Structure 1
Amino acid sequence: MATPKTGTSSEITFSQLKKLITERRLAPLYLLHGEEGYYIDELVKVFEELLPEEERDFNLYTIYGPETGVETIMDVCQRLPMMAEHQVVIVKEAQAIRADALNKLHFYAERPNPSTILVIACRGDKAKGKDLIAAIKKNGIVFESKKVTERNLLPVISDLIRDKNMTVAPKALSMLRDYIGTDLSRLYNEIDKLSFILGPGAMITPEAIERNIGISKDYNNFELVDAINSRNAAKAMTIVEYFRNNPKNNPTVMTMSTLFNHFSNLLIYHYTRDKSQSGYMDALGLKSPWALKNYEAAARAYNVRQTIEIISALRECDCRSKGIGSRQNEYDLLKDLMFRILTSQGIIRM
């Protein structure tokens, strides 16, 4: 086995680790843990397919942590592979093993069998056991699968598209974020589809998304935010009416989330002390100066007091959309919200 460099394993990304495995640059130990289950599931699949099919019956062991003692896991790992270079041992649901019991695996991890690849998968939670983690960091790779949130979603999408050897237009990137969100399984499937259709080196445009995914390039949350920033009431109301007539692709919960994030970030923009471009980008967690233009336009249209008033209106609309104090149709509520945003005067109710 060509063992990859260890010691910086906590910094490794999903794409980097997947590439190492598929290139068979393997370590004897892997700990996959963290809140984002999708990445862990995908890496486990890669490990399951590491051996040729004819070797899997004898050299691939899938162990369910809650059902198997740690001593048994260590015994399996110490075996020699049968007529093969190595065996693969995958411990699934390891997060369900008691912390003190899981930590006992450090006795094996400190001196791992070089012909065994042990994969410990703690799906949806971080592993506990300092001794085990330290031993795996020394002799293998630790991958923390961090939860993807609205705030860090854009870099995740950008990295995935770059991994497919494609580029993306800024508006198209926002469309993918707004309409697919943090559903990584769907996100990866849609970008795989675009990669297959458009081919390597292509740019993902709003037109390509509209044609192949079914999201309108003219009537979407990106365009709605743009209309609000420019105080274009006619355009904003037209987009909301389009949403009403196409509810499947335009749920109000997604629109409300987009607007709340936009105005929350606008409030951060207003209160950022460092007024330089880099200062604003650091405060907002932005990777591209292009994304900053949205907030520059919004800041010209809505001052601090108006921004606070709008955030209050968004919270109220969210409650009413859930049936608290209102039985109005959700798109009627959204239309009322547009009016309140566009006519905001900075009146803060205490």
Structure 2
Amino acid sequence: MKYDQILKELKANQYKPVYFLHGNEPYYIDQLANFFEDNILDETEKAFNLTILYGKDIDHKQVVDQARRFPMMASHQVVIIKEAQSMSGLQQLQTYIENPLETTILVICHKHKKFDGRTKLANVVKKNAVLFESKKPYDNQMPAWITSYLTGIKLKIGPKEAALIAEYLGNDLGKVANELDKLAINLSKGHTVTADNIQEHIGISKDYNIFELQDALTARNHTKAYQILKYFQANPRNNPLVMVVAALFGFFSKVYLMHTLRNAPDREVQKVLGLPTPYFVKDYRKAAQQFNRRQTEKIIHLLKNYDLKSKGVGNASSSDQSMMQEMMYHILSV
């Protein structure tokens, strides 16, 4: 079952006896666990009917004993097992899940990894419980996720600004959500998030970031490229060499593909390049005009070498700052 569907049913007071939440993205598991904890029971009911257990502290017998209790002065009791991946005897919950108590809502939170679907317990869960897998989104899905999240908290954002946040914050949804909440705290509802807002409240520079660097390289604007480079060198924590190399490698790899898609429509280019929206296609068309295929190949090869150097391979003493300076010189000299 999907996340939105589970929430919809819970909000409609449609409960199942067992929910098994698993996967490598903790954000959705935490969100659902919080909903079960905060919204199923009222404050007076929680005193006797809400139990939170932690996997490393319990075994299956304690869970079953708790789940077999009847609720007190409430229609249901809620039992939440957090960090179930650390629980001793998790597989032995199979018997309970085959025949659960209808007045108990048992929520099993198995975080940070996918549960093995080949086990007997997995087969029983699929048949008798609500099974939800929380998947970590791909990087190219993050701008859309950010846009959707901001829409949910009554803010708007353009594709370039959403991509900027995604590039710098990655796909850790908990981390991204925390940063986006800063915008909600400081901006009025209905506001369209700008690069200035992002710089002020999240701390990502609107003028000196990886997208501005890509634009400067595409325009072969040496002055602007070196200004951004100087900012990166002064702020290595937010702009480490390994991240800059990876971002530029991704950019020029797409530019290389663009050479095979010159006459393709924007929607096809978006799909092949894995872009979040067609909005960015124009950037790659422009870059492909500035860097021919041979030049692009040379830059990709160059970036592969600097990727290795940034990880200590074939680099005895050069600092990240000096390697970044050297790399920029070679790219602009191609």
* 1:339 aligned residue (326, 329, 332): 329
Please give the alpha-carbon distance, in whole angstroms, between the structure 1 residues aligned to 2:117 and 2:200. Answer: 49
Q: What are the ranges of 5 or more consecutive residues in structure 1 without an aligned counterpart?
A: 1-8, 345-350
Letter in 1 for 2:111: R
| 1:327 Cα deviation after fit | 2.2
Contact in 1 for aligned 2:262/2:285 (Cα 8 Å): no
Please give the alpha-carbon distance, in whole angstroms, between the structure 2 residues aligned to 1:306 and 1:24. Answer: 61
| 1:173 Cα deviation after fit | 1.2
Please give the alpha-carbon distance, in whole angstroms, between the structure 2 residues aligned to 1:105 and 1:327. Answer: 55
Task: Return closer, same or farther for 1:230/1:97 CA change in 2, 3 Å cut-off.
Answer: same
Please give the alpha-carbon distance, in whole angstroms, between the structure 1 residues aligned to 2:292 and 2:130. Answer: 49
Letter in 2 for 1:335: Q
Matching residue of 1:94: 84
Please give the alpha-carbon distance, in whole angstroms, between the structure 2 residues aligned to 1:267 and 1:227. Answer: 18
Task: Return closer, same or farther for 1:87/1:211 CA change in 2, 3 Å cut-off.
Answer: same
| 1:82 Cα deviation after fit | 1.3
Please give the alpha-carbon distance, in whole angstroms, between the structure 2 residues aligned to 1:287 and 1:163. Answer: 19
Matching residue of 2:102: 114
Letter in 1 for 2:64: M
Letter in 2 for 1:73: V
Please state whether the residue corresponding to 2:100 is helix, strand or coil: coil
Please give the alpha-carbon distance, in whole angstroms, between the structure 2 residues aligned to 1:23 and 1:188. Answer: 25
Q: What are the ranges of 5 or more consecutive residues in structure 2 without an aligned counterpart?
A: none
Please give the alpha-carbon distance, in whole angstroms, between the structure 1 residues aligned to 2:182 and 2:97. Answer: 40
Matching residue of 1:62: 52
Please give the alpha-carbon distance, in whole angstroms, between the structure 1 residues aligned to 2:8 and 2:178. Answer: 18
Contact in 2 for aligned 1:30/1:119 (Cα 8 Å): yes
Matching residue of 1:313: 302
* 1:176 aligned residue (165, 172, 185): 165
| 1:269 Cα deviation after fit | 3.6
- Residue-pair matches, total: 331
Matching residue of 2:228: 239
Matching residue of 1:26: 15
Task: Return closer, same or farther for 1:272/1:34 CA change in 2, 3 Å cut-off.
Answer: farther
User: Any idea what the Cα deviations from partners look like across 1:132-160, whole Å, max 9, x if unmatched?
Assistant: 44554455432211123433322222221
User: Any idea what the Cα deviations from partners look like across 1:234-289, whole Å, max 9, x if unmatched?
Assistant: 21111111222333443333322221221233334445699332322222233411
Contact in 2 for aligned 1:169/1:206 (Cα 8 Å): no
Matching residue of 2:268: 279
Contact in 1 for aligned 2:56/2:83 (Cα 8 Å): yes
Contact in 1 for aligned 2:18/2:97 (Cα 8 Å): yes
| 1:33 Cα deviation after fit | 0.7
| 1:49 Cα deviation after fit | 2.2
Describe how 1:186-205 pairs up with structure 2 within 5 A.
186-205=175-194
Contact in 2 for aligned 1:133/1:142 (Cα 8 Å): no
Matching residue of 2:320: 330
Letter in 2 for 1:113: L
Letter in 1 for 2:195: P
Task: Return closer, same or farther for 1:113/1:175 CA change in 2, 3 Å cut-off.
Answer: same
Please state whether the residue corresponding to 2:139 is helix, strand or coil: coil
Please give the alpha-carbon distance, in whole angstroms, between the structure 1 residues aligned to 2:126 and 2:189. Answer: 36
Matching residue of 1:79: 69
Contact in 2 for aligned 1:210/1:217 (Cα 8 Å): yes
The 10-residue stretch of structure 1 (304-313 or 220-229) with the greater mean CA deviation from structure 2: 304-313
Matching residue of 1:230: 219
User: Any idea what the Cα deviations from partners look like across 1:164-197, whole Å, max 9, x if unmatched?
Assistant: 2322122211221122223333311121121222
Please give the alpha-carbon distance, in whole angstroms, between the structure 1 residues aligned to 2:36 and 2:76. Answer: 12
Task: Return closer, same or farther for 1:242/1:170 CA change in 2, 3 Å cut-off.
Answer: same
Please give the alpha-carbon distance, in whole angstroms, between the structure 1 residues aligned to 2:115 and 2:234. Answer: 47
Q: If the length of structure 2 is used for normalisation, what is the TM-score?
A: 0.86
Matching residue of 1:128: 116
Please state whether the residue corresponding to 1:27 is helix, strand or coil: coil
Contact in 2 for aligned 1:264/1:311 (Cα 8 Å): yes
| 1:41 Cα deviation after fit | 2.8
Contact in 1 for aligned 2:252/2:299 (Cα 8 Å): yes
Please state whether the residue corresponding to 2:329 is helix, strand or coil: helix
Percent sequence identity over aligned pairs: 39
What is the alpha-carbon root mean square deviation over aligned residues? 2.8
| 1:123 Cα deviation after fit | 0.7
Please give the alpha-carbon distance, in whole angstroms, between the structure 1 residues aligned to 2:106 and 2:251. Answer: 44
Please give the alpha-carbon distance, in whole angstroms, between the structure 2 residues aligned to 1:68 and 1:32. Answer: 18
| 1:81 Cα deviation after fit | 0.8
Letter in 1 for 2:105: I
Please give the alpha-carbon distance, in whole angstroms, between the structure 1 residues aligned to 2:186 and 2:14. Answer: 31
Matching residue of 1:348: none
Matching residue of 1:4: none
Please state whether the residue corresponding to 2:140 is helix, strand or coil: coil
Letter in 2 for 1:220: N
